[in-house]
Amino acid sequence: MPERTVVIASSSGLHARPAKIFVQAAARQGTPVRIRVGDGTPVPANSMLGVLALGATHGTAVTLDAEGPGADEALDALAEVLARDLDADESPGRSAGGGAGGNVHG
């Protein structure tokens, strides 16, 4: 199963606005993606409550996983979203391609 580990770049972590942007991006993917912190239980990446319950703060490493057609592309797109400071991103509709790719490990 493909995985990506990425460090949360948003200064407030995956809370409020950054979590909403991430969950919406996950919902647009063509394959189900899960997210977890450390060895914790993975939650659906398109679940706002699940993502908020992770308690992922700035600098937390999270792991994304997916199976099926398009899994690698979905993981790459979502990893790029998390590698950006979504608190500073003034246009949430932007594509996920403009991030700090140095924080993504696959």
Compute the chain's Rg from CA coordinates: 12
Catalytic residue among 4, 15, 36, 84: 15
Is 105 among the residues known to form the active site? Answer: no
Residue 27 in tokens: 């919902």
Can you tell me which residue has the tokens 């969950």? Answer: 23
Q: Which residues pair with 64 in a beta bridge?
A: 4, 35
**Under 8 Å CB-to-CB from 17, ≥6 apart: which residues?**
86, 87, 92
The catalytic site residues sit at: 15
